[in-house]
Structure 1
């Protein structure tokens, strides 16, 4: 029993280290932005997302709250996420000049402001694990702007809508934990991330994104799908079954 407890404790703290390593990956993404290595920045952001997607299910599986209680995994995750999901993607947004120049600083600052407030919400999730408000996944939104080659005005409008939705009660799905439509959402989400990685890998500063019709369809349809089920859940009053 003692040996089993030691193994569980070590596994718990190892997982916390894995979560914290997302901050290092975020630093590498930021350095890539500074160095004008857009391909590297995009790839590191995908790696950050993969780490973020894996640590939660593993944490619940090995009961880190019980076996590694000296580190609050929830707070650790929020700290790392603000860096990798908000700060670094905003730096990329500015570097790529995806916004109208006259509004760039204003909108970039608004992303940081609204996302900080969202991360501090006491009602960040519902009982059935839907997020209240847009969950600050700018690490996905901003590369998607690039992939879809959206105009600066379109990027500005979409970004403002997402920013102001962060303090609303609009429900957005936790891709892994929400059970409703999970048989669609989870594999579709994995396909979306895989496509984002492929498109990031093929990016070059000279030619930009290597456009593939199928990949662009996936990158276009998944946000629409998420929007549709978000509206569906927001309009329902009762919680849905969760994992």
Structure 2
């Protein structure tokens, strides 16, 4: 296999997220939320792997005619924003007006955030909440907060997309990565567990989901509060 073919295959691997998005949307249309989240979880795993693969295969050098960043953003908007917003509006967790109001807020602010060229920080974290509504919706489906609590969560996170708060990328943010990666893997395993239980969330799973979600949400902000220690001359 030539380097050019290998690099193009990595682009195809990224593009497989579009197929997963289609499957997730079909399952959402059938009100099969367990399978919808299963396909969204697979898309999340693909999104976590394709970046390191692209750098390993040097796709910018060997497949330069396809913009991997743009490809990734298109798929991320579908799987992170659009489908979760649709699910919130259709799942019956809220009144019709509340569900559609939140869904409209999510897709409108989400598409603006994804077009922001300042969304990435120097340490490969995100500036502002990175529109991970797929993860937010899984937490909402699992914990079933009240309608007003959901409105508060959605409203807060919509605003948080446009404030200079740091949110980590568990794979690419180097600081605390030895902790962030296991926490992200634990979150995925707990999410799979909850899905297999048809969102009848066991107390232990709920506690694990809350703990891992809080870390992934606030780790970047904690990094801003506690700056990295600069190495001394002796080091």
Check whether TM > 0.5: yes
Could you tell me how far 1:99 is from its partner in structure 2?
Answer: 3.4
**TM-score when scaled to structure 1?**
0.89
Alignment RMSD: 1.9
Paired with 2:184 and 2:202, the residues of 1 have a C-alpha distance of 18
Residue 2 of structure 2 aligns to a residue in which SS? Answer: helix
| Paired position in structure 1 for 2:80 | 85
| Paired position in structure 2 for 1:46 | 41
| Paired position in structure 1 for 2:151 | 156
The range that moved more, 57-66 or 228-237, is 228-237
Paired with 2:174 and 2:50, the residues of 1 have a C-alpha distance of 18
Residue 215 of structure 2, aligned match among 208, 211, 225: 225
| Paired position in structure 2 for 1:169 | 164
Residue 64 of structure 1, aligned match among 35, 59, 84: 59
**TM-score when scaled to structure 2?**
0.92
Conserved in 2, the CA contact under 8 Å of 1:94 and 1:108?
Answer: yes
| Paired position in structure 1 for 2:68 | 73
Paired with 2:161 and 2:9, the residues of 1 have a C-alpha distance of 32
Bigger relative contact order, structure 1 or 2, given CA contacts below 8 A and separation 6+? Answer: 1
| Paired position in structure 2 for 1:188 | 183
Could you tell me how far 1:167 is from its partner in structure 2?
Answer: 1.2
Q: 1:121 to 1:240 in 2, by over 3 A?
A: farther
Could you tell me how far 1:138 is from its partner in structure 2?
Answer: 0.7
Paired with 2:8 and 2:229, the residues of 1 have a C-alpha distance of 33
Paired with 2:78 and 2:229, the residues of 1 have a C-alpha distance of 31
Conserved in 2, the CA contact under 8 Å of 1:169 and 1:234?
Answer: no
Could you tell me how far 1:217 is from its partner in structure 2?
Answer: 1.5
- Which residues of structure 1 form unaligned runs of 5+? 1-5, 204-208
